[in-house]
Every structure is written in C-alpha cells, then in structure tokens.
Amino acid sequence: MRIGELARLTGVSARLLRYYEEQGLLQPARTPAGYREYQEEDTVRVWQIRSLLAAGLPTRIIVELLPCATGPVPVLEACPNLLATLRGELADLDARIDDLTRSRRVLSHYLATARAPRAEQAA
C-alpha cells in the first residue's frame, strides 16, 4: 500500500509517517519509481509507535523497543536490555516529575505571598 492508504488506515498524517521513516521506526520498500510501499504489518507498527510515544518514550528508545513489541497495543517481550531501558526511562520521568513538583511548590508560594500592585491597594 502507498503512504496515503497507510495514513488513512492509521489516522496518522503522511508527513508523520515520513518522519517515522527518518527516525528508523518504519522501513517501507520502494517501487522502481521511488514510491514508498508499505505492508499490512506496517499498520500495526504505526499503532505500536503511537502507543509507545503516548507513554512518553522518545523515538530513539522506541527504535530499540519495536523488535520486542507484539500486537497493536504493544506487549513487550523480554528482549536484551529491555528492562534496563524501561527502568532508565522511568527514572528519568520520575526525576522530571520531582523537578516540576519543586517548581510548582515555589511558584505557588510566590503566588500566595505576592502583593497586589499599589493601585489595587489604594482602592
């Protein structure tokens, strides 16, 4: 199938499908005229990519995980380094959450202790 058909079946734009190809997530065959030619299993692959992206994983990690994925909502099989990779991503996410929580607490404090502008105080 061509890129337009894959886009229609998956709800993912052709532009995004080309990006996935650039990132090594999809590897369509090429016709002699240079058109991308996708297989039926690429539909599942796109759904896997979308699901892994929704989990917050970057494409550089998804490339590593796709060989371990089965099914449209991917079930990850125990491939080498899979658990270490996922644990590392989870630790990074936890660290970002901690940073955001600290920032939120400080911003909330500033908001709670902010003084009204002088014009508002006089009114």
Rounded Cα distance between 56 and 40, Å, is 26
pTM of the model: 0.79
Residue pLDDT, tens place only, 19-38: 999 999 999 999 999 999 99
Mean pLDDT of 90-102: 97
Give which of 21, 97, 9, 95 is closest to 59, Cα–Cα: 21
Residue pLDDT, tens place only, 60-72: 999 999 999 999 8
